């Protein structure tokens, strides 16, 4: 039978909670992780029964160090490593430690809170929460920068093709690579640009989300560098977050992919540039504060871990 994947190909919801946890160095970690795996399965089954139209789910990803610490199957997924920083001429894609990542989403905020609370209750004794971001849908799926986010996402069957590991890594078929970055925007500098200048940074029109023609689109625009070809796509589920009064607004970038190589190529284009030095102009206004890679096992694997 085909392995049952976690909900990595679902479309963006109105409300999201992202959580990253790091394990303490204590012997109880393994037993608690088994309980956690049972909980993740239970949470997903429960929301499907109780709130079938809420599009609610909880996706769990596991980092490289945690995979080894928990003595999960070896060999590991082929491309699961600790993310190495990408150092460009001006900007750096930083690396941050993450043992477990949770992507909790639903149309109803209350469901997200309850799932996050249940996970926290189990993990608190053996792990430390190092990141919790509450994302929200902004208008018609726009980032706080004012442009539609995720237009290049694959649709239909292509979401599984680009988001789910295939038979080339047979032991992990149905899983997914998960890469996340927390970006903080310099809104003061961004708002100082005219709409025309902002459009050149992104490579699309702001009002109606139409991509510029290739002979007009700047070579250092976000669209020109972040899109690495129709045969190399990822499933993005980015969400805006933050506090307007303190000007700490950002985007939580989240990518599910059948291979991390695709994400790596995109990041190299953005931070190093094509050619080298021609980096993504959006980085002058958006700074990554985190960068972590995880593997999302199938429900079948999670059941086995429990």
Q: How far apart are CA 220 and CA 285, in angstroms?
A: 14
Q: How far apart are CA 122 and CA 41, in angstroms?
A: 14
The helix-helix angle for 29-50 and 109-123 (nearest 10°) equals: 160
Supply the DSSP symbol for 77.
Answer: P
* Sheet strands (E) in the chain: 15-23, 57-62, 86-87, 92-93, 100-106, 127-136, 176-185, 235-236, 239-243, 248-257, 286-288, 292-296
Which positions ≥6 away from 46 have C-beta within 8 Å?
none
Exactly one of 99, 149, 237, 280 is catalytic; which is it? 149
Bridge partner residues of 179 (DSSP): 255, 293
Which positions ≥6 away from 166 have C-beta within 8 Å?
173, 258
**Residues 145-173, buried b or exposed e (16+ Cβ, 10 A)?**
bbbbbeeebbeeeebbebbbbeeebeebe
- Are 59 and 47 within 8 A, CB to CB? no
Tell me if residue 149 is catalytic. yes
User: How many Cα atoms sit within 13 Å of 71 on the Cβ side?
Assistant: 6
Q: What 3-state class would DSSP assign to 295?
A: strand
* Sheet strands (E) in 80-138: 86-87, 92-93, 100-106, 127-136
Q: How far apart are CA 186 and CA 285, in angstroms?
A: 5
Q: Give the catalytic positions in this structure.
A: 149
């Amino acid at each position: 039978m085909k392995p049952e994947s976690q909900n990595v190909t679902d479309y963006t919801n109105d409300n999201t909670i992202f959580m990253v946890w790091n394990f303490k160095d204590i012997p109880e970690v393994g037993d608690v992780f088994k309980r956690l795996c049972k909980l993740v399965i239970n949470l997903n089954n429960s929301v499907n029964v109780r709130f079938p139209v809420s599009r609610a789910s909880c996706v769990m990803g596991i980092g490289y160090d945690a995979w080894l610490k928990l003595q999960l199957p070896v060999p590991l997924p082929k491309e699961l490593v600790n993310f190495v920083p990408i150092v460009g001429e001006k900007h750096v894609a930083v690396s941050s430690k993450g043992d477990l990542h949770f992507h909790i989403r639903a149309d109803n905020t209350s469901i997200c809170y309850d799932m996050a609370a249940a996970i926290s209750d189990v993990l608190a004794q053996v792990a430390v929460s190092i990141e919790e971001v509450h994302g929200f849908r902004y208008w018609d799926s726009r980032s706080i920068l004012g442009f539609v986010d995720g237009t290049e996402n694959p649709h239909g069957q292509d979401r599984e093709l680009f988001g789910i590991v295939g038979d080339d890594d047979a032991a992990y078929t149905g899983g997914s690579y998960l890469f996340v970055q927390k970006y903080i925007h310099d809104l003061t500098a961004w708002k100082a640009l005219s709409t025309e200048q902002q459009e050149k940074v992104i490579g699309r029109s702001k009002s109606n989300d139409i991509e510029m023609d290739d002979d007009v689109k700047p070579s250092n625009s976000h669209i020109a560098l972040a899109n690495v070809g129709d045969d190399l796509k990822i499933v993005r589920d980015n969400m805006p977050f933050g506090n307007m009064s303190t000007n700490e607004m950002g985007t939580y970038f989240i990518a599910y992919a059948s291979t991390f190589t695709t994400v790596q190529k995109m990041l190299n284009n953005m931070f190093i540039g094509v050619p080298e030095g021609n980096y993504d102009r959006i980085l002058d206004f958006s700074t990554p504060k985190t960068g972590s890679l995880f593997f999302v096992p199938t429900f079948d694997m999670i059941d086995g871990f429990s």
